């Protein structure tokens, strides 16, 4: 599975949008881009995933660059509960079933 | 909804002791996983079970054994605990993937300290 690069930390104010970047320059054509987040003292929580097109769900939006070498997780209005470590993960279609490779992620701090 | 339940939540062991971490899911998922997370790091896969009756090694299997007891339960055993196994252990489950990228659902972890 290809590697991803994320900033170590980011900060935001409450109710402002947050754009969390992820670089994955070695992504293959069949790799999906997944995002998970981990709140303090909890297990990771699935956020969103996509392949080529931008994706939206109730938690966030995922914007994927046209060349797929980068993506951005968008939280439209940050809340204090969104303070967490966010992981960007690539998963190959047909890769070893179910394996997730976690890096260190981005620690998001949300200020009231 | 219970989801993925891990027991115990906390445990302290002495070096050389054995212990089994329990995990159960109530979502009728086929696949289950054990990860460990060391301070300031991401999760690393120890073992996984793609479906009932099968288990496979992950990135860091040494010092651990697993048992897929039935579809609901997947246990992780430390036969002779070592201080290097001090970590937070997470269990996860997902529907059978077959390349469809099913999300994984995680428990809240077992915090294990080995003295």
Span B46-66, pLDDT tens digits: 999 988 889 999 889 999 999
Between B51 and A75, the more confident residue is A75
- Quick check: bond before B109 cis, omega within 30? no
Q: Inter-chain contact A98–B109, Cβ cutoff 8 Å?
A: no
Encode pLDDT of A44-63 as tens digits.
999 999 989 899 999 999 99
Query: What is the reported pLDDT for A95?
Result: 53
Q: Inter-chain contact A43–B48, Cβ cutoff 8 Å?
A: no
HEC string of chain A equals CCCCECCCEEEEECCCCEEEEEECCCCCCCEEEEEEEECCCCCCEEEEEECCCCEECCCCEEEECCCCCEEEEEECCCCHHHCEEEEEEEEECCCCCCCCCCCCCEEEEEEC
Q: Inter-chain contact B103–A49, Cβ cutoff 8 Å?
A: yes
- Candidates B5, B35, B103, B110: best to mutate against A (most CBs of A within 10 A) is B103
Q: Inter-chain contact B101–A102, Cβ cutoff 8 Å?
A: no
Strand partners, B12: B113
Place of tokens 């430390």: B78
Name the residue among A46, A95, A105 with its Cβ closest to that of B104: A46
A chain contacts of residue B55, beta-carbon cutoff 8 Å:
none
Q: Inter-chain contact B108–A41, Cβ cutoff 8 Å?
A: yes
Encode pLDDT of A6-47 as tens digits.
999 999 999 999 999 999 998 888 888 999 999 998 999 999
Q: Judge whether residue A84 has pLDDT over 60.
A: yes
A chain contacts of residue B101, beta-carbon cutoff 8 Å:
32, 34, 49, 91, 93
> Considering only alpha carbons, which residue of chain B is nearest residue A96?
B99
- Candidates A93, A100, A104: best to mutate against B (most CBs of B within 10 A) is A100
How near does any CA of chain A get to the CA of B36, in Å?
Answer: 11
- Cβ neighbours, 10 Å, residue A79: 12
Name the residue among A95, A98, A104 with its Cβ closest to that of B41: A104
A chain contacts of residue B33, beta-carbon cutoff 8 Å:
98
Q: How confident is the model at residue A96 (pLDDT cuts 50, 70, 90)?
A: low
């Amino acid at each position: 599975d290809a590697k991803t690069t994320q900033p170590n930390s980011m900060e935001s104010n409450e109710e402002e949008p947050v754009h969390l970047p992820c670089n994955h320059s070695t992504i293959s054509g069949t790799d999906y881009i997944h995002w998970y987040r981990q709140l303090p003292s909890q297990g990771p929580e699935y956020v969103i995933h996509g392949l080529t097109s931008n994706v939206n769900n109730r938690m966030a939006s995922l914007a994927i660059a046209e060349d797929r070498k980068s993506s951005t997780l968008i939280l439209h209005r940050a809340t204090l509960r969104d303070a967490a470590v966010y992981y960007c993960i690539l998963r190959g279609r047909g890769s070893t079933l179910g394996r997730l490779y976690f890096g260190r992620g981005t620690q998001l701090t949300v200020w009231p | 909804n219970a989801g993925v339940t891990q027991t115990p939540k906390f445990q302290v062991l002495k070096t050389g002791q054995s212990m089994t971490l329990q995990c159960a899911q109530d979502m009728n998922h086929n696949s289950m996983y054990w990860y460990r997370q060391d301070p300031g790091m991401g999760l690393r896969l120890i073992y996984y079970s793609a479906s009932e009756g099968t288990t496979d090694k992950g990135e860091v299997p040494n010092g651990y054994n697993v048992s897929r007891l039935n579809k609901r339960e997947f246990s992780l055993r430390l036969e002779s605990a070592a201080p290097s196994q001090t970590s937070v252990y997470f269990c996860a489950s997902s529907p059978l993937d077959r390349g469809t990228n099913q999300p994984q659902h995680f428990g809240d972890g077992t915090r294990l300290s080995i003295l």
